[in-house]
Chains A and B, each alone.
Chain A
Amino acid sequence: MSFSLLTPEFIVERNDERCIRCQVCVRQCANLVHMYDQEEDRIVADDSKCVNCHRCVALCPTRALTIRRNPLEFKENANWTTSAIREIYKQAETGGILLTGMGNDRPYPVYWDHMLLNASQVTNPSIDPLREPMELKTMLGRKPEVLNVEDGKVKEKLPPQLKLEIPVMFSAMSFGSISFNTCQALAMAASEAGVMYNTGEGGLHKDLRKYGKNTIVQVASGRFGVDVDYLQAGAAIEIKIGQGAKPGIGGHLPGEKVMAEISQTRMIPIGSDAISPAPHHDIYSIEDLRQLIYSLKEATDYQKPVSVKIAAVHNVAAICSGIARAGADIIAIDGFRGGTGAAPLRIRDNVGIPIEFALAAVDTRLREEGIRNQVSLVCAGGIRNSADIIKAIALGADAVYIGQAALIAIGCHMCQKCYTGKCNWGIATQDPNLVKRLNPEIAARRLINLLHAWTHEMKEMLGGMGINAIESLKGNRLMLRGIGLTSRELDILGIKAAGE
């Protein structure tokens, strides 16, 4: 390899007094940073390969390791920042597009952090969730505008609904982009918590079919693993049009990762690249989408809600109105901070709009058109905690998808190197030695704990607002006040400023 101008991004610091030469780090780092020098009885590190995933740090028994950002600095320059310069070096050396993993990490405003919640004082009592019932149960799916009741009975049955114990689901992550153990943990946690996980576009492994009641099966442009059994295996079907991290482009699972299990699940030959095209080649317009929605409904006897997932792009409100009219029961909108297993850096960091605006615009638009009942809205893309969820629901969402938060719960350290396939945490990898690091039972328990904790927090926030059922928060924008926002931003979000 020729001489590289790239200096290490991180430096690995080892406290030699603490190091007992156990070589755990040597074995744990799939990036081969650590090496044992037998002659000198020392462990040395090649800093340049470190991605700062903390695996070695967390497993070092004597806490001898620290990873630091390399203090080496370029001459200060507001335009030519370190990353701007480094990216050019990389491209000049490789001639390739820059890849990355996980969601947009640029310092764009996080609008959740510019919205504050209300609480009751005097005129309206707050409700104590430890003493009073507090309901988070959520139903996703098309609702008729009017309920026809005759002699105390419903005349027409409700269209199929997804019943969630709490308004949170695990986002689409395919087997291929994540390991089997991760898929299994998500499935187990979803079924214990009474929510849904989503297969992503990678098909459904036969061993996970038993979690069908809590599974949303995805149909994406590559149609990997899609047959009628697959469609019938889940509780709902999701057509993936786009993804927040890479709106407008498809996916690519390199052939090396397509080993036996993935090949079987995706229904493609071993070792072949799994390329999902940018658009669905049978959907070039909204009418085409309608056809696919109804083909899927036909295939499943109108027993399952059909969701359509799109990336939050400029014209999202009009697009969602079209999707609702095309017959979707659920629309999932993925904001520009949505995660990914692999995406071109420039796309991830520059395409799409914040989910907060997209959600507000869509909810407003569907209400203006009087069709908000016809679909449920699920919002995704960078939801970090229970407060984000409560704010999303107050803006107009029915439920949220969490992806990155779920992976962090099971050990992801946001190193953003998922695309390398060398995830030291056993998540974004197919390497059997790495995959087995993730114990599905333990991971499922951590996910359930996370949902449990958030459930309590959401109940506390709801009770504080004097609300005891989540549906009374949906679209209840008076419960939000903006802080540090322009009046234009407030208008788009449809909320007042703090103090108003």
Chain B
Amino acid sequence: MLRYEGKIRIPSGCAISGIMNKKGQPFPGDDIIKSIALMHDRSNGLGGGFAAYGIYPEYKDLYAIHMFYDHEGAKADVEMFLNQHFKIELSERIPTRKVSSIKNPPIIWRYFAFPRGDKLAEAGLDESEYVVRCVMRINSDFEGAFVVSSGKNMGAFKAVGYPEDVGDFYMLDTYRAYIWTAHGRFPTNTPGWWGGAHPFTLLDWSVVHNGEISSYDANRRWLEMFGYKCTLQTDTEAITYMFDLLIRRHRLPLEIALTAMAAPLWDEIERMEPEQQELMISIRAVYGSALINGPFSIILGCKNGIIALNDRIKLRPLTAATKGDFVFIASEESAIRTVCPRPDAVWTPMGGEPVIALLEGVEDI
């Protein structure tokens, strides 16, 4: 019997792309679809998806919860749970268009909601932690239900199919966002489950990722100590939780969090100034289990910007470019040039060297 993602770990290769407007000016999804479509051969039709920031200005203070349901029963159960824990302002089907290559969609729904004050007070948690726990609960305890995204003024759109078809299916040309990221997937073996496609998200973090990390189980078992449940058994899920843990919960400065994930080599550390050295040694000692090993390139999206990161010996491709207020990041340079033929600057970041693009006026992630 073929098993769903989450019951089994499935390695996959991929294409990734991201476009951002540093002034926060929204633009439609056509370019990101064009960019990811150019790398068609890097995916195999078994998963594609997008994350978009700034798409729900009219509900920007509410959590936009995107859901997949396998059946009506799952929807009824989750809605009962949601109603207990959230005040739901709007509940609606996510609009889609018929695309011949996208088959067997689940029930695709979204809610705009905020946590119920009494429940929040009772839980004694801060708001985001409360939302995280609810997401974890749904993903691990409700059969046939999957939280696709749960951030504010953002959303993830993903499916089994080629990414350009997925974009068409979700009518992304009709949305306007100031950050778009995209993913085309090449899993080596999958029964094709919609939840398994990227991006993977939590709150307003989204991760698209290319690679297969060899440190997965070390990372997962460490994250699980902090209450994360890696139900999907994918690298992307683990990486997303890692950002959440390091940046939101441990309040590490962004560069420190990135250093933990792609740490400098001991040889390099030995050559550093004493103060810097102490910092690096401490990071490697405390966050050894957060080191991501094996080939990867990722784009992390959040409301304040995007960050791209490669493994420390650069085993996966990643290129970045700028043009005016725009920042582009993609697996291949061609995927940038197809939407921006003459960028102001193009470069290939070194292994372990992050590309950090924040909105103007924003200090930290």
Contacts and interface: CB of A to CB of B under 8 A. Distances in A.
Contacts of A158: 281-282, 285-286
Interface stretch (B98-106, B159-167, B213-221): B213-221
Given A133-B265, A472-B215, A475-B218, A153 B275 contact: yes
Nearest to B266: A137
A146 B247 CA distance: 11
B279 A154 contact: yes
Given A124-B11, A147-B283, A467-B294, A475 B289 contact: yes
B266 A135 contact: yes
A265 to B, nearest CB: 34
Interface residues of A, number: 42
Nearest to A144: B286
Nearest to A471: B288
Contacts of A370: 225-226
A132 interface: yes
B315 interface: yes
Nearest to A127: B313
A414 interface: no
Contacts of A472: 214-215, 218, 291-294
Nearest to A140: B285
A479 B284 contact: no
A466 B225 contact: no
B293 A161 contact: no
Nearest to A473: B218
A482 to B, nearest CB: 15
Interface residues of B, number: 45
Contacts of B212: 123-124, 466
Contact of B252 (A149, A468, A474): A149
A123 B286 CA distance: 30
B175 interface: no
B253 interface: yes
Contacts of B188: 122-123
Contact of A372 (B225, B265, B282): B225
Contact of A149 (B218, B279, B281): B279
Contacts of A141: 285
Contacts of B211: 124
Nearest to A154: B282
B126 interface: no
A124 B285 contact: no
Contact of B295 (A124, A154, A372, A471): A124
Contacts of B107: none
B41 to A, nearest CB: 16
A152 B279 CA distance: 8
Contact of B225 (A143, A367, A479): A367
B45 to A, nearest CB: 17
Interface string A364-392: 00010010110000000000000000000
B74 interface: no
A476 B295 contact: no
A152 B250 CA distance: 15
B225 A478 contact: no
A152 B282 CA distance: 12
B108 to A, nearest CB: 30
Interface string A120-157: 10111101000011010101010111110100111001
A465 interface: yes
A157 B225 CA distance: 23
A149 B253 contact: yes
Contacts of B283: 147
B349 interface: no
A147 B255 CA distance: 13
A147 B225 contact: no
B224 interface: yes
User: Most chain-A Cβ atoms within 10 A of its Cβ — which of B292, B312, B315?
Assistant: B315
A123 B11 CA distance: 7
A477 interface: yes
Nearest to B233: A478
Interface in B209-242: 211-212, 214-218, 221-222, 224-226
Contacts of B285: 139, 141, 143, 158, 161
A469 interface: yes
Given A133-B265, A472-B214, A477-B217, A153 B279 contact: yes
Contacts of A473: 215, 218
B262 to A, nearest CB: 11
A242 B224 CA distance: 31
Contact of A475 (B214, B222, B250, B287): B222
Interface in B176-214: 188, 211-212, 214
Contacts of B250: 146-147
B214 A467 contact: yes
Given A157-B278, A466-B212, 20 more contacts: A125-B315, A127-B313, A132-B313, A137-B266, A149-B256, A153-B279, A158-B282, A158-B285, A372-B222, A373-B225, A467-B293, A467-B294, A468-B293, A471-B284, A471-B288, A472-B218, A472-B292, A475-B289, A476-B216, A477-B221
7 contacts: A120-B214, A467-B293, A471-B289, A472-B291, A474-B288, A475-B289, A476-B214
Q: Identify the 3 closest CB pairs spanning chains A and B, nearest first.
A: A471-B288, A472-B215, A472-B293
Interface of B: 9, 11-13, 188, 211-212, 214-218, 221-222, 224-226, 250, 252-253, 256, 263, 265-267, 275, 278-279, 281-289, 291-295, 312-313, 315
Interface of A: 120, 122-125, 127, 132-133, 135, 137, 139, 141, 143-147, 149, 152-154, 157-158, 161, 367, 370, 372-373, 465-469, 471-479
